[in-house]
């Protein structure tokens, strides 16, 4: 654990290093008469303010970095962001509440906050805490803030507090003189200052001038569709803050990781490299003052842990490692819990084999296309399936070529590739090239059918059918992923060596009755393999019925899949 004592000693004692020329006369130009703000630690400890027990050196270090040493202007140091990847129960809500209330206090001491921040008269200055859920935002975090506001002697001596159960809308502009309105989920202060407690599915920053933002348990952020949206919320907050306040804004991100390389882990790595970012990673008892935990410990994989957590680690070791040690699993809710080991074993035995078909990526007129440059299958009597998951601007267009090994009764994934767009460079997938590649492959090998997910595939399916190539659309359901998982564990599928496909398989997450991907990851390649499994050995398919009907287009029970997929005879193309 780093030693922060030297770094923050003057900060703890309230002895700020004044910038040259910051005498009392200079301070009076900025602050109200006799309202020079006290240092942060004094604010926390003082009976006039928070009357809170001392924070740990490690908690104070992050705050000291953001606020700096110059009491005259805590927004002049250009230190904008602090990332704390810390365990559950390490005092994140306390840090968030104290930081927000201190900056409210500091701004209330200013003669004219709008003028200080170069805002037009009448504009609001907003501080915001964003929690992962509505109940946490309102019932947990904001209730803590509300109780501190009601007990804040300095505030109550200076202003009249009015408590209301009416929400405060972000677009509602309120300029108060001598009143503090403590509303539902938000508080309005004099001088146009507002404090909001919101949740992650409120993605819009409309109506907010964000000076300070706390993203609390940011790795758990989801929108109304239950999709991870931490990056979207962060980008919204940062953009809103920077456009209003330049480099004077402050953002705190606090969370324990939900899975490897999730949002907080990514931000922590960025924070270690950025000059004006602070990044720290700590166990729960390393961040919160040690006195709150038992001195007695137990050993967990070489780590001494306070006995308070022994039951948690005994019952749920993997979850507890993420929550308290910031040592997360591969995914938050892995669909295939032992996926890495299984896929590694399947793929590594093919590591030295030549690729089935070697492609070269070509970019023409801002479109990504592929060109066949080498074929390594020789003369093959196998009948193949091609499965596609189309994407154009943001998601890749992925393709798998598979065949069925009748002797061993397994599906062989011969090739899985993807056309990868680049949204930042506005490079999209060339659908005409996708069609050309399919046609060329059908000339080289015996293709029993080409199957597409339903997104944007109607036209290409029609065109292939007109050329005599059997093409169909299908949909993937939760049951199809369950079948894929069963085949993976039961040895009913074999893969060519493919690192990107491996990571997509490992990254599959279970979300109730559906399977999705980790935030910022993809699953286009794995979806094509799941589709191949569905067609080859799903309900009523080849592995169960033996030979597929050879009647062209004949719709009989043996060749109709569970969700309407029809395997046709190879066309004359």
Instruction: Output the pLDDT for position 348.
Output: 85
Taking 70 as the pLDDT cut, the residues of the chain under it are 1-28, 134-138, 203-206, 225-226, 330-332, 512, 518-520, 539-573
Half-sphere exposure of 326 (CA within 13 A, CB side): 26
**Other CB atoms within 10 A of residue 314 CB:** 11
Cα(388)–Cα(220) distance, integer angstroms? 31
The string over 228-242, giving b where at least 16 C-beta atoms fall within 10 Å of a residue's C-beta and e elsewhere, is: bbbeebbebbbebbe
Rg of the Cα atoms in the chain: 30
Widest distance between CA atoms in the chain: 95
- Contacts of residue 567, defined as CB under 8 A and 6 or more positions apart, other chains included, come to 448, 449, 535, 541, 542, 548, 559, 561
Distances in Å between the Cα of 433 and the Cα atoms of 247, 438, 470 are 46, 9, 18
Fold (topology level) of 5-292: Rossmann fold (3.40.50)
Cα(454)–Cα(471) distance, integer angstroms? 12
**Tens of pLDDT, residues 89-113:** 999 888 889 999 999 999 999 999 9
The answer to whether the CB of 49 falls within 8 A of the CB of 152 is: yes
**Tens of pLDDT, residues 317-354:** 888 999 999 998 766 677 887 777 888 888 888 888 88
Instruction: Output the pLDDT for position 22.
Output: 42
Q: Does domain 339-559 match CATH 3.30.420.240? A: yes
- Contacts of residue 81, defined as CB under 8 A and 6 or more positions apart, other chains included, come to 250, 251, 252, 253, 271, 274, 276, 277, 278
Cα(195)–Cα(104) distance, integer angstroms? 8
Please provide residue 533's backbone torsions phi and psi, each rounded to the nearest 5 degrees.
-60, -40
Q: What angle do CA 171, 173, 177 make, to 5 degrees?
A: 155
Instruction: Output the pLDDT for position 23.
Output: 40
The answer to whether the CB of 249 falls within 8 A of the CB of 212 is: yes
Cα(17)–Cα(457) distance, integer angstroms? 65
Domain ranges of the chain: 5-292, 293-329, 339-559
Q: Tokens 């699953």 label which residue?
A: 523
> For the residues of 462-475, what is the DSSP string, one character each?
HHHHHTT--EEE--
**CA end-to-end distance (rounded Å), the chain:** 68
Cα(485)–Cα(482) distance, integer angstroms? 5
The answer to whether the CB of 250 falls within 8 A of the CB of 288 is: no
Q: Which two tokens stand for residue 41?
A: 């630690």
Helical pair 524-537 and 478-490, crossing angle rounded to 10 deg: 80
Q: Which of 351, 338, 306, 340 is nearest to 325 (CA)?
A: 306
């Amino acid at each position: 654990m780093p030693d922060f004592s030297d770094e923050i000693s003057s900060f703890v004692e309230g002895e700020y290093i004044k910038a040259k020329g910051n005498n009392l006369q200079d301070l009076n130009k900025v602050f109200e008469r006799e309202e020079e703000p006290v240092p942060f630690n004094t604010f926390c400890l003082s009976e006039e303010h928070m009357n809170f027990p001392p924070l740990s050196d490690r908690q104070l270090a992050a705050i000291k970095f953001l606020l700096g040493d110059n009491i005259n202007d805590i927004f002049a140091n250009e230190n904008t962001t602090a990332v704390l990847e810390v365990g559950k129960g390490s005092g994140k809500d306390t840090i968030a509440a104290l930081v927000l209330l201190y900056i409210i206090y500091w701004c209330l001491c200013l003669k004219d906050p709008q003028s200080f921040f170069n805002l037009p008269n009448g504009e609001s200055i907003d501080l915001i805490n964003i929690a992962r859920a509505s109940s946490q935002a309102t019932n947990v975090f904001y209730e803590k803030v509300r109780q501190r506001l009601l007990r804040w002697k300095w505030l109550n001596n200076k202003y009249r507090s009015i408590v209301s159960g009416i929400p405060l809308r972000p677009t509602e502009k309120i300029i108060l003189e001598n009143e503090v309105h403590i509303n539902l989920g938000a508080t309005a202060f004099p001088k146009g200052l507002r404090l909001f407690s919101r949740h992650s599915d409120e993605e819009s920053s409309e109506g907010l001038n964000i000076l300070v933002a706390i993203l609390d348990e940011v790795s758990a952020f989801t929108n109304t569709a239950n999709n991870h949206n931490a990056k979207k919320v962060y980008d919204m907050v940062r953009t809103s803050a920077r456009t209003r306040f330049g480099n004077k804004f402050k953002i705190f991100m606090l969370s324990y990781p939900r899975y490897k390389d999730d949002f907080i882990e990514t931000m922590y790595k960025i924070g270690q490299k950025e000059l004006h970012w602070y990044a720290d990673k700590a166990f729960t008892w390393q961040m919160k003052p040690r006195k709150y935990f038992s001195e007695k410990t137990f050993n967990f994989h070489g780590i001494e842990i306070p006995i308070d957590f022994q039951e948690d680690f005994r019952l749920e070791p993997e979850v507890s490692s993420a929550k308290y040690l910031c040592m997360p699993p591969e995914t938050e809710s892995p669909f295939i819990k032992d996926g890495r080991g299984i896929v590694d074993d399947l793929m590594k035995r093919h590591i030295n084999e030549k690729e089935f078909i070697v492609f070269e990526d070509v970019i023409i007129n801002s479109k990504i296309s592929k060109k066949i440059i080498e074929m390594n299958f020789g003369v093959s009597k196998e009948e193949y399936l091609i499965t596609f998951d189309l994407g154009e601007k943001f998601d890749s267009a992925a393709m798998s070529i598979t065949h069925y090994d009748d002797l061993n009764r397994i599906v062989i994934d011969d090739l899985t590739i993807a056309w990868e767009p680049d949204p930042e460079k506005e490079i999209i997938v060339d659908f005409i090239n996708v069609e050309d590649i399919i046609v060329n492959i059908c000339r080289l090998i015996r293709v029993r059918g080409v199957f597409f997910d339903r997104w944007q595939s109607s036209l290409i399916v029609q065109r292939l059918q007109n050329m005599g190539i059997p093409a169909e659309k299908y949909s993937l359901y939760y049951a199809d992923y369950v079948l894929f998982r069963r085949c993976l564990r039961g040895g009913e599928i074999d893969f060519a060596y493919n690192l990107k496909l491996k990571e997509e398989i490992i990254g599959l997450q279970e979300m109730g009755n559906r399977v999705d991907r980790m935030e910022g990851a993809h699953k286009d390649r794995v979806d094509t393999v799941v589709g191949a499994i569905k067609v080859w050995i799903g309900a009523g398919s080849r592995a169960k019925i033996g030979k597929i009907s050879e009647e062209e287009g004949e719709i009989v029970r043996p060749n109709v899949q569970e969700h309407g997929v029809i395997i046709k005879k190879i066309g004359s193309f």
